[in-house]
Amino acid sequence: MKKIGRVLSAVSVMFIMASCASDGSVPEKSADEKQSGSLFAMDTYMTVTAYGEKAEKGIEATQNEITRLEKLWSVTDENSEIYALAHSGGEDVEVSSETEELLTFAEDMYLRTDGALDISLYPVLRAWGFTTGEYRVPEDKEISELLLKKGADKIRINGGKASVPDGTEIDLGAVAKGFAGDMAVKALKEQGVTAALLDLGGNIQTVGEKKPDGSSWKVGIRDPHGEGIAGTVEIGEKAVITSGGYERYFERDGVRYEHILDPDTGRPAESGLASATVIGGEGRMCDALSTSLYVMGLERAGEFWRSTGDFDMILITDEGGIYVTEGMESRFKASSGNVTVIRR
Ligand code: AMP
Ligand code: MG
């Protein structure tokens, strides 16, 4: 469940400390004792598990940070900066430094990915019902008219102000959680937390190269064709972020329509991939890339990786084939079947 847009003001943010004693007091903590906190934000469940004495403060700080960012970026909250941007009739609106940074990043990724990542598809996503759950299959003509408004390169950003052309609307669903994860990692570190695992609706980010017991972080990669996992990956301080059609879709007349759109056609991407996982140092980059590599498909994604290469990926095809870049060769263990290694 992904849509940052559907969360909105109505969302009650629940934050539950998992290791409180029954009388509500917080027990004494040792260096490798862990605590977990959960919240519902950005339309998804998030859990932060932190280790050590600073865990509780760190978890609280991540909650505050994520809640703050959600208020800036919700598409339907009339007080959000993203709402203001879409409803200003093309005029400049003031934006926070975080929003400016995220929009600049997304525009840059639009260019780097040849438009495969395009945060201006909101009107097209709405036509399909992906923003509301009222699903329908739009006519070709409707889609082609809505596509005239897209293009993340139309976003103008300048010194704390931003604008989009009248009729263009932004949807940060493909990048917001990765960015929020980076900010949450920063908040944890500022509180002195040296080991933590964040699960922001399936986006995994870690703090610390290892768990306090000296073992590596182990992350399951969901099998896009079933309920279990396709394999596990061992990582240090990284982000592991997956995009998959299975996360949101609907069916009409036996056809399955999935939530990640090919910006060229305005229709669900049919790239031959069932999921794309990106492993790298920054959540925002992994989130942007997982969505765009999913749109690109196996071959183009391989070319993209060879030309830039500061990340690893695990691609699972519609037929169940698993492809990993060479950095994952010894770190990824498949639950079953063969793995093909993509080399430079
Ligand atoms: P993710 O799960 O990070 O891949 O993000 C998917 C979400 O991003 C979708 O649910 C849409 O809200 C939005 N989206 C769909 N297609 C695209 C695209 N090609 N570029 C950017 N955002 C998209
Ligand atoms: Mg993404």
Strands 203-207 and 196-200, sheet pairing? antiparallel
Q: If pLDDT is split at 50, 70 and 90, which confidence band does 1 have?
A: very low
**Which atom of ligand 1 is closest in space to residue 295's alpha carbon?**
19
CA diameter of the chain: 63
pLDDT, tens digit (0-9, with 9 covering 90-100), for 29-56: 566 789 999 999 998 999 999 999 999 9
> b/e map of 211-246 (b: 16 or more CB within 10 Å)?
beeeeebebebbbbbeeeebbebebeebbbbbbbbb
Q: What distance in Å separates the CA atoms of residue 163 and residue 173, rounded to the nearest whole number?
A: 19
Which run of H or of E encompasses 104?
helix 97-112
Count the Cβ atoms, other than its own, within 10 Å of residue 139.
10
Instruction: State how far the Cα of 2 lies from the Cα of 66, in Å rounded to an integer.
Output: 15
CB 253 within 8 A of CB 224: no
The mean pLDDT value of the chain amounts to 91
Given the CA of residue 171, which atom of ligand 1 is nearest to it?
12
| Residue reference for tokens 């992994």 | 286
Which residues have CB less than 5 Å away from ligand 2 (the ion)? Answer: 174, 287, 290-291
Q: Given a cut of 80, is residue 21 above it in pLDDT?
A: no
Helices 283-307 and 97-112, interaxial angle, to 10°?
A: 20
CA atoms within 13 A on the CB side of 139: 3
Distance CA 92, CA 262 (A): 29
Q: Give tens-digit pLDDT for 283-321.
A: 999 999 999 999 999 999 999 999 987 999 999 999 999
What residues flank ligand 1, with Cβ below 6 Å?
Answer: 2-3, 117-119, 121, 125, 130, 171, 173-174, 243, 247-248, 259-261, 263, 287, 290-291, 295
The tokens for 121 are: 């598809």
Single pTM value for the model: 0.92
Q: 217-222 and 322-325 as β-strands: parallel, antiparallel, unpaired?
A: unpaired
Report yes or no: 138 and 128 within 8 Å, Cβ to Cβ: yes
Q: Which two tokens stand for residue 259?
A: 């939530």
> Tell me, what's the pLDDT at 170?
95
